[in-house]
Structure 1
């Protein structure tokens, strides 16, 4: 079917359902960023394959909304004769509905939207209707089956805390708040709480399911029983009951009269609707697993350090190889990414990439979340910019690193070096920061932009996101972004530091390390925090204009490169060590 055929089929289903429009989010029934093929509804309908977005279909027009990472990609993938492409913050869906949907009934699948997300779309004259069946699914004739990978125990050697202890601590938080149970719709919470991992998603080791956590620390786990083998059931113990997904509605109905915590932003609207219908009392509060999951325990922190050292060895081997091969002009975006993956696969505990590598040469680097395909694969030419954003899933940690490289053999243009150095200055500003406890990510985002702002430049994405422990490479609740929730940073959180600059049609620059929040050594009168850099890889000296750096910035780079050399050189072969010594020489 063409995009036109699919859109027509959906509109026919909408008419049969008695509504004039429909909202299609990127998320699945767990409201996650990464979804299985069976939940790629937005991609099936529009052709757009990015990890964030929304489409709205009306009788005579349709639009796709994306953020600044995907404005170029969506215009390449969605048929412009069918779809209007809109920036989701500059031209928000509610405003578009107000202009084009007055008097219409707009359907939505209550399993795919949090209730507050629907409320934010509220527009005078527009009626929103929860539909019992998703009309897009009915039109999607060859929809893949839901994933059935097994849920497996995550060893205590990597998890750092027994599941029994986690369940009791989460249940104690419920009791303290007067809640008798909590809905857990986020599979990351199930993975953390129960010390399980799975293979339902390509790059994030999750076993998809739902759970009810009771205030006595019992858990009802709603997951296809065939996904939970005998060894995993033994690991879960008698306090965790595995129940088929079909039993979930009856289990919600059985909560009548009880106070149930529901994290509204992280839970499909279906749950609130069902709880109200059952006569339960809805208690508001955050998923009790979310903050403990974000604040890594001692074992997880050590695991992150170890995983990053192994990842650094793979990166050093790749960067040394790239420095030798790139000037010859024989590499492509796909072949370069494949070589990096091969180096990572040699590392102990490696399981998968943490996301599909963003491998962009020249103008492709300006597409923030570019994903190379055989159709778009481009030769990496000499004397141009190449951006590689990638990461690994290791049993003891999750990595995410971006480096921007000059292919050579000639010198990089002065303007490019200026832009890259300003990005590096922003990266250093965040990495070296000490700040009082209580400061949140949105308070710090501007620090990474100042050097660019000084030149009238900026980038259209957040500066950093949280990262899980052998979980999602994008983890909340904290982030460096003007649009992020005001969540104070806490000891044990891991976040990315990734400012950038993008010249459309020419090149992209992004420099990313992961940072661990640790107590400050400042010795202040009140609690202060600072960052420990986990990522260990040199920055490309060909793109650094030392004259733009302050003395303190030069000293930080020299100290960082000295640390990279000291920690990574013993892990690599002689030829890579020789290259690393040159790459880490003092400025």
Structure 2
């Protein structure tokens, strides 16, 4: 971080502490998420980035105004991100991240201003309890944290007589003078030919579920569920095609939609889409978004039994209902599981989207191989001269260019991770947040994790490819082990009722056998032209207790990361399907959606079993067949590249 940026962040913290003093707060917790608990944020919601410089998709910043580092004698041990040693609270500001960001956070914050922690080892409440006196007051914006997390923090602080209070508005917003404008996009109708189930049918099933559970209503506050329920899309978030709004659905099939009226006007054409929307989804009651607190009061006073998902509903809404005396039943959002199980139209769309994406990525990788021409390399100097003006930003832009020409392309499904050499060791590295994107010519490894929304579906793929000479035995070994991990999950056959938690270790086993592991989940759910990180399905050692069911789309992305040197991740999307093998039709399996070759130049063949070799060769043959038949626009050079890249090992 430059000296100028260090000064800027120091000044911002100083101004924030003044605002805290006015609010009579001893400390302030700033959570990453916005009012809809989304991890995908526009610039006007990047509060942690504004106050600290850290740009990851999860975390907390904690600012202490009355800082007393002598209180560590309470016995609270704080293990920092620089090693396993025990340390005391050294500064009055701290950033808390998960395992994906322990490397990245060090590069993005001023270490003299902020201390950094892995919050699986040290939570914000642990840290505050180590530095605050009894009866201290800690503020938090309850709109930007889930009720579950809010109560966990409150419980930890109360154990040492420290008070947690809701702030009046968000204090970061109060000091953010040049805050960007909020994005309010026009509603896009998501036609039934792509969604496979009209909104009226979905709402009818939701009402039936409420009646079966003897409930009167459910409050839905995550925009993805609302867009799925109403078969609409939008552009309120970069990379996440949703409309920010809230819904209350009733057991009598009535629906109240709380939304900014500007969403119904196309600003470019001036068209009012109310009539088209009514034809698409039928009648629902529409209210301005600022009337949502009114319906909360009404639910509290009408003796209704209300279903709420405490993980997707912010603490402010939950506390309003609880303190108002509403009869709450908590559980997984009633749209979450139906949304995750894709119908046959959606699955067919995902196949179409991945063929388009496979064509684009194959063309990109062919272009990249032609740029590097490693196999015909004459000397290091000629190689560097050829590639040195190409940066991570250029590579990301080139990959997107190949996607843009495919029919039905909408936008990237997330910020492309385009990472050379040591930058690939940061799981969620973003070259846009770097002082300067790294240039080619100095690294053997390039990792690209990217995807797109098409009208047909959503894609997400990671490939690690060779882009320079001097391929080490260590790189080859670790790539092969990550590939073995990928194949172990891809080939799994499992009984109905199996959860992601139960199978996570299967993917990690090849790395565990060599004493290695990776600090992120093995797989996440993927939405249908919605969030590329969808729940409730996932494959993880921590939170994946939802059974995998046919129609669920999920990623398979083991990895290995050597800090300061390189990173390897290999990701395909898969769909859960009934197994078709003889005698196994009562079981489930995964069918790959992604159609892009793995870089076989890394592979140590002797480390693969015959079963793994067969899977890889069959996968590559399928990639070749599908892409060659579908891509009429492939050049002769691209066809030659694809044939070579998919050749049997």
Q: Residue 94 of structure 1: CA displacement?
A: 2.9
Q: CA deviation at 1:93?
A: 2.3
Q: 8 Å contact 1:366–1:502 — kept in the other structure?
A: yes
Cα deviation, residue 36, structure 1: 2.1
Structure 2 contact 466–602 (Cα < 8 Å) conserved: yes
- 2:642 aligns to what? 580
1:138 deviates by 1.1
| 1:40-88, Cα deviation, whole Å (9 max, x unpaired) | 1111111111111111111131111111111121111111121111011
Distance 1:142 1:412, change over 3 A: same
The CA RMSD measured in Å over matched residues stands at: 1.5
Task: Measure, in 2, the Cα distance between the counterparts of 1:537 and 1:276.
Answer: 50
For residues 548 and 248 of structure 1, the distance between their equivalents in structure 2, rounded to whole angstroms, comes to 59
Matches within 5 A, 1:60-459: 60=67, 61-103=92-134, 104-121=136-153, 122-123=155-156, 124-125=159-160, 126-228=162-264, 229-235=273-279, 237=281, 239-255=283-299, 256=301, 257-327=303-373, 328-329=383-384, 330=387, 331-373=390-432, 375-381=435-441, 384-408=444-468, 410=469, 412-459=471-518
CA distance in 1, matches of 2:179, 2:129: 32
- Deviations 1:452-492 (Å, cap 9, x if unpaired)? 11111111111111100001110011111111231111111
Moved more, 511-520 or 524-533: 524-533
For the Cα contact (< 8 Å) 2:200–2:282, is it kept in 1? no
Unaligned runs of 5+ in 1: none
Q: Distance in 2 between matches of 1:214 and 1:144?
A: 36
Q: Tell me: CA distance 1:235–1:72, structure 2 relative to 1, closer, same or farther (3 Å).
A: farther
Q: Give the alignment's TM-score, normalised by structure 1.
A: 0.97
**TM-score computed with the length of structure 2 as normaliser:** 0.88
After TM superposition, the structure 1 = structure 2 runs for residues 516-555 of structure 1, keeping only pairs within 5 Å, are 516-524=575-583, 527-555=586-614
Structure 1 contact 383–412 (Cα < 8 Å) conserved = no
User: In 2 relative to 1, CA 382–96 (structure 1 residues): closer, same or farther, beyond 3 Å?
Assistant: closer
Distance 1:157 1:465 in 2: 26
- In 2, distance between residues paired with 1:430 and 1:238? 43
Tell me if the contact between 1:411 and 1:542 (Cα under 8 Å) persists in the aligned partners: no
Does the Cα contact within 8 Å between 2:195 and 2:346 map onto a contact in 1?
A: yes
1:499 is matched with 558
Matched-pair contact (CA < 8 Å) for 1:326–1:380: no
Structure 2 residue matching 1:483: 3-state secondary structure: coil
Give me the whole-angstrom Cα distance separating, in 1, the residues matched to 2:125 and 2:177: 31
Q: CA deviation at 1:141?
A: 1.7
Contact 1:382 / 1:407 at 8 angstroms: preserved in 2?
A: no
Greater mean deviation of Cα atoms: 274-283 or 63-72:
274-283
Provide the C-alpha distance between the structure 2 equivalents of 1:96 and 1:582, rounded to a whole number of angstroms: 55
Q: How many residues align?
A: 586
Q: Determine which of 546, 556, 567 is the counterpart of 2:626.
A: 567
Quick check: 520-529 or 448-457, which moved more? 520-529
**Is contact 1:185–1:266 with CA below 8 Å preserved after alignment?**
yes
